[in-house]
C-alpha cells in the first residue's frame, strides 16, 4: 500500500515499510534501547523508530534537525491502545498503524519548533522536536 499525502512541507511521503525479512514470525528482535536521536544515514536521512505500546508512543519525544529529512518508522505492538493511527496535523499526516507492521512517515521539517502527533482521538500523543 502506498499513500501520498499533501502536507504543508515538501517531500512528504508515506510508504508501508516492509522489513526485508519476512514478517509474521517472531524472528526479528526489535532494538528497543536505541537513543531517541539516531544518527543520520549516508543519505542524510535520520531514521527514528517509534513503537506504540500500552504506555503510548515510545519514545514520546524525539529530536531531529531542521532541513534534514526524517524517516519515522512506527510499529504498533499492542491492541491495548486507541493509537491505531498516527495523526500529525501540521504535516497533513493520517497514517494507519497496523498491528506489528512497521510503517514509515517521511518528511523534512523546514523550521525549528515542535511537531505534535497523536492518535485520532487525541488521547495519546508525542512530540518531534525540530532543532
- Residue placing its CB nearer to Cu ion in the complex, 82 or 99: 82
In whole angstroms, the minimum distance from the beta carbon of 126 to Cu ion comes to: 12
Minimum Å distance from CB 119 to Cu ion?
Answer: 3
Q: Which three cell numbers stand for residue 80?
A: 491495548
Q: Sign of torsion, CA 73 66 116 60?
A: positive
The contact set with Cu ion (CB under 5 A) reads: 82, 119, 121, 123
Q: How far is the CB of 122 from Cu ion (least distance, A)?
A: 7
For residue 89, the SS3 value is: helix
Residue 34 or 123 with smaller CB distance to Cu ion: 123
Does residue 75 contact residue 52 with C-beta atoms inside 8 Å?
A: yes
In the bound state with Cu ion, the residue whose beta carbon lies nearer, of 105 and 130, is 105
Q: Which is nearer to Cu ion, 8 or 82 (CB)?
A: 82
Rounded to whole angstroms, the Cα distance separating 63 from 40 reads 12
Least distance to Cu ion from the beta carbon of 55, Å? Answer: 13
Whether 129 and 62 have beta carbons less than 8 Å apart is answered as yes
Amino acid at each position: 500500500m502506498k499513500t501520498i499525502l499533501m502536507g504543508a512541507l515538501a517531500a512528504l511521503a508515506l510508504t508501508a515499510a516492509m522489513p526485508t525479512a519476512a514478517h509474521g514470525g517472531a524472528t526479528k528482535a526489535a532494538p528497543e534501547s536505541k537513543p531517541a536521536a539516531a544518527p543520520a544515514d549516508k543519505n542524510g536521512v535520520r531514521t527514528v523508530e517509534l513503537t506504540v505500546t500500552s504506555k503510548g508512543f515510545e519514545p514520546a519525544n524525539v529530536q531531529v534537525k531542521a532541513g534534514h529529512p526524517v524517516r519515522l518508522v512506527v510499529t504498533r505492538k499492542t491492541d491495548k491502545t486507541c493509537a491505531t493511527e498516527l495523526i500529525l496535523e501540521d504535516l497533513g499526516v493520517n497514517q494507519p498503524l497496523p498491528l506489528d507492521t512497521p510503517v514509515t512517515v517521511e518528511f523534512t521539517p523546514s523550521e525549528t519548533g515542535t511537531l505534535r502527533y497523536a492518535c485520532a482521538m487525541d488521547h495519546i500523543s508525542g512530540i518531534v522536536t525540530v532543532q
